[in-house]
Amino acid sequence: MSTQPEPAEPTEPTAGRFYGVGVGPGDPELITRKGARLIAAADVVAYHAGRGKTSNARRIAADLIPAGAVEEELVYPVTTGTTDHPGGYAGAMADFYLASAQRLAAHLEAGRDVVLLSEGDPMFYGSYMYMHDALAERFTTEVVPGVPAFAAATATIAAPLVRQTDVLTILPGTLPETELARRLADTDGAIIMKLGRRFPAVRRALAAAGRLEHAVYVERASMSSERHLRVVDVDADSVPYFSLIVVAGDSLQGLGRREAAGAPAAPASSAASAAVVDAPAEVVVVGLGPGPEAWLTPEASAELAAVDHVVGYAPYVKRVPHREGLTRHASGNTVEVDRGRLALDLARRGERVAVVSGGDAGVFGMATAVFEAQVAAAADDVAYADVPVRVVPGVSAVQAVAARAGAPIGGDFAVMSLSDRLKPWEVVERRLRAVADGDLVLALYNPRSASRPDQLGDALEVLLEVRSPATVVVVGRDVGRAEESLVVTTLGALDPTTVDMKCLLVVGASSTRVDHGRVWTPRSVG
């Protein structure tokens, strides 16, 4: 008896593959061989386009698109921040990307391979990224890199962008002008994208950062209509979207590449000292306060506005607004005396110099380091004693934390650093016991770090030898900044592992109390 085979169950089509293919900046010959192969084999070719405009990505890849391919043109609903959409520009674009992803997903679900063309590189300021976010988890996806516009631009002007250990920063021209100037001053080489109507502000930022003279404007790099010229010569009304600015690392000017890039200069030698001017300018050591601009004193602002150079630890130097004619010398931690010597050497050349510190410059800050540099330099036959040094006060971190808590330092108090980098731990312990025996309120700077994870716990044990576990403790973290937090606890309950270098601790005296959420210490004892 013969049997007939049962008909096979219908199967779902295998999902297609999704490719994000970079087609480069404009010249079709810059498409990679892999990108060209995938475009030529695609079932569906998609590309973005402005309303009423031809897609530049499609123009670049036009000769590679197969005749039988389905084309999906994804037209932006808006290209500026003006729209009637109830969610504004962001809402309109979010809806557009969602609808675009759904269109491409329909092809992929039907088993068709989709190639989405991307100008330049798909993962570099490209619209492809939004489609990737929406589709990569559902479908097999591959990204094919492309030549980014800035690579074509530097080739066009034949300018080395960065060398060796130079730092390259890529910046959108849409940044606030002051922030753009700061970042331009703090880097070696830079690329500025997204110009258009922002060009005048970008040019002002370049001038403020001292980088305008050597900045080069490149328009439509690698295209037949490409052109390049100095930024100072560009007509601001003629800047198209396909343009950028190249600031080569080699263009750094001033005291030499090393100093201008922010590394401390080598200490001056006795031979160098002969070249200084007869009347050195002074060094002003400025306390910037704990962080908020409102806590920077008018005197400090005036001093910073009058100097030619700012020297300091990089995070503090970055807080100084940049302007034309200002040279910034940012360096890492633990080189305070080197920074002091750099500032003194600049002043002996006749330069106006500010050395900056967080908080108050005289409280574990740069003021003492500058004085130490003056004394240490004498041993090297470099006479800095004739350089005037003036200290401008700032709001200290202990003042800021205390004010947030109430008035815990309203009575007698002591200030200590738990760091043993400049003093033995035995000295720290001896002073902790003295403060505890004296029943003083104690402010602790540098309480705990990755390299000193146990010292705060050790310090608490020392204090608890004399102080009650119920002693009030205030832990302030990032006070004055967006991440600010304030915790009121006790000496016995404090968990050292919750504390880091962003914190300052105030350990109360026996008379310190907490009333209605306010921590305060009476002025009288009794």
pLDDT for the residue 265: 40
Same-domain check for residues 345 and 360: yes
Checking if the pLDDT of 459 tops 70, the result is yes
The pLDDT tens digits of the residues spanning 199-222 come to 999 999 998 888 888 899 999 999
Looking at residue 149, its pLDDT comes to 94
Q: Give a yes or no: residue 281 inside a domain.
A: yes
Among all chains, which residue has been given the structure tokens 């060009």?
A: 199
Which residues lie below 8 Å from residue 358, measured CB to CB, with a gap of 6+?
287, 288, 289, 290, 291, 313, 315, 316, 365, 397
| Tokens representing residue 200 in the block | 């005048």
Instruction: Assess whether 156 and 91 both reside in one domain.
Output: no
pLDDT at 267 over 50: no
C-beta of residue 244 within 8 angstroms of C-beta of residue 192 = yes
Tell me, yes or no, whether 436 lies in a domain. yes
**What pLDDT, on a 0 to 100 scale, did the predictor assign at position 12?**
59
Q: What is the CATH number of the domain that holds 197?
A: 3.30.950.10
User: Chain-wide mean pLDDT for the chain?
Assistant: 88
The pLDDT of residue 82 is 73
Three-class SS string for 21-39? EECECCCHHHCCHHHHHHH
> Does one domain contain both 37 and 132?
yes
Boundary (domain end) residue, out of 371, 394, 417? 394
Do 265 and 200 fall within a single domain? Answer: no
Residue 183's pLDDT is 86
Query: How confident is the model at residue 7, as a pLDDT?
Result: 57
Q: What is the CATH number of the domain that holds 83?
A: 3.40.1010.10
Residue 428 has pLDDT above 60, yes or no: yes
Look at strands 503-507 and 441-445 and give their pairing.
antiparallel
pLDDT in tens, 355-405: 999 999 999 999 999 999 988 876 666 678 789 999 999 999 999 999 999
Phi, psi values for residue 420, rounded to 5°: -105, 25
Whether residue 376 sits in one domain with residue 309: yes
Task: Show which of 123, 146, 169 is a domain's final residue.
Answer: 146
E strand or H helix at 169:
strand 168-172
54 and 131 in a single domain? The answer is yes
Which domain range does residue 358 map to?
259-394
Q: In the numeric block, which tokens belong to residue 54?
A: 């031809």
Which of 16-20, 72-76, 268-272, 399-403 has the weakest average pLDDT? 268-272
1-5, 55-59, 99-103, 338-342: which has the minimum mean pLDDT? 1-5
Share of the chain above pLDDT 70, in %: 90
- Of 251, 281, 299, the residue at which a domain comes to its end is 251
Tell whether 279 and 390 lie within a shared domain: yes
Provide the number of structural domains found in the chain.
Answer: 4
Query: Has residue 2 been placed in a domain?
Result: no
Instruction: Note whether residue 460 is domain-resident.
Output: yes
Q: Are residues 155 and 112 in the same domain?
A: no
Is residue 423 domain-shared with residue 456, that is, in the same domain? yes
Residues 241 and 326 in one domain: no
Inform me whether the pLDDT recorded for 270 exceeds 90. no
Q: What is the pLDDT of residues 315-363, one digit of tens each?
A: 898 889 888 888 888 877 778 888 999 999 999 889 999 999 999 999 9
DSSP type of residue 480: T
Same domain flag for 116 and 165: no
SS3 for 404-452 is HHEECCCCCEEEEECCCCCCCHHHHHHHHHHHHHCCCEEEEECCCECCE
Please report, as a single letter, which amino acid is at residue 396: S
Residue 3 resides in a domain = no
Task: State which H helix or E strand residue 520 sits in.
Answer: strand 518-520
How many H-runs (helices) and E-runs (strands) does the chain carry?
A: 16, 23
Question: What are the pLDDT digits (tens) for 473-515?
Answer: 999 999 998 889 999 999 999 999 999 999 999 999 999 999 9
Asked whether the beta carbons of 263 and 335 are under 8 A apart, the reply is no
Alpha helices in 284-390 (DSSP H): 298-306, 314-317, 336-348, 366-378
Among the ranges given (14-18, 226-230, 326-330, 366-370), the one the predictor scored with the smallest mean pLDDT: 326-330
Examine residue 525 and state whether it is found in any structural domain, yes or no: no
- d(CA 495, CA 295) in angstroms, rounded, equals 30
Q: What is the pLDDT of residues 167-200, one digit of tens each?
A: 999 999 999 888 898 888 888 899 999 898 899 9
Altogether, the residues listed in the chain come to a count of 526
CA distances from 167 to 183, 191, 203, 251, 517 (A): 11, 11, 21, 13, 48
Structure token digits, residue 477: 């973290």
Tell me whether residue 285 is in a domain: yes
- Tell me which residue has tokens 């934390």: 401
12 within some domain: no
Instruction: Identify whether residues 263 and 137 lie together within a single domain.
Output: no
Indicate whether 257 pLDDT > 60: no
Q: For residue 266, what pLDDT is reported?
A: 38
